[in-house]
Each structure stands twice: as C-alpha cells, then as structure tokens.
Amino acid sequence: MKYDLGLLPRILIIDDQYGGVRNDGRNRERESFCQSIGIQDVTGDVETEEIEFPVAEALFLRGQVIEDGYVRNDLDGTLETVRKGCASGHAGLCCSLTWNSGQAE
C-alpha cells in the first residue's frame, strides 16, 4: 500500500553515521534504522526501500562537511537546516550528541 507524501509527520535526524552516504552510494545503517522503527527516508541522497506502513517520514543530515580530506562539524549549516525545518513544519528533531571529526576515511 502506498502512502501519500506529506500526510505523515516529518522528522529531521541529525547524525554523522546515518546522515552520510558511503562510497557505494548507500547507507546500510540508515536503511536498517528506518526499517527497524518504521520510518520512510525522504532525504533523496540515496536509493531507499519503501516502508509499507511508515509512521513518519525522515530527513537525514550528517551535520558535517568534508574539507581537504578532513571532516569538520558544521554547526552553522546544521542550525540553518533546523531553522528551515521548523519553518516548514517538521514534527520533530533527533540529534546525535557526539559527532566524530578528523581525517576522512
């Protein structure tokens, strides 16, 4: 059964592991997380499996940028995304409290 986009609550999830895209163009940790709690990933940066009966839509954000081979926490960009999400009606926000930074792998 297909659900209607925009009818479900939308949450913003900020996490360095779930928010990034791996070298193979996927994020299996994110896929597993979405399936385990029944949320539909609508970020658009990777192919996703459709959740049959999702309880919410989720946008994922890494909260970091990679510059010259190093990962840097991006507080300004993250706060801007949160502000935009609040203005567009996100129902919730989940944020990792620990982001690893340093040389990119």
The 10s digit of each residue's pLDDT in 33-88 is 999 999 999 999 988 889 989 999 999 998 888 889 888 889 899 889 888 876 67
Long-range pairs of 86-92 with CB within 8 A, sequence gap ≥ 24 = 89/10, 90/10, 90/11, 90/12, 90/59, 91/9, 91/10, 91/11, 91/56, 92/9, 92/11, 92/12, 92/56
Mean pLDDT for 89-105 is: 68
37 domain residue, yes or no? yes
Number of independent structural domains in the chain: 1
Domain of 40 in residue numbering reads as 14-89
Given pLDDT bands bounded at 50, 70 and 90, which one contains residue 4?
low
97 domain residue, yes or no? no
| pLDDT of res. 90 | 72
Residue 29, number of CB atoms within 10 A of its CB? 13
Mean pLDDT for 9-24 is: 87
21 domain residue, yes or no? yes
54/79 Cα distance (integer angstroms): 27
Above 70 in pLDDT, residue 91? yes
27 domain residue, yes or no? yes
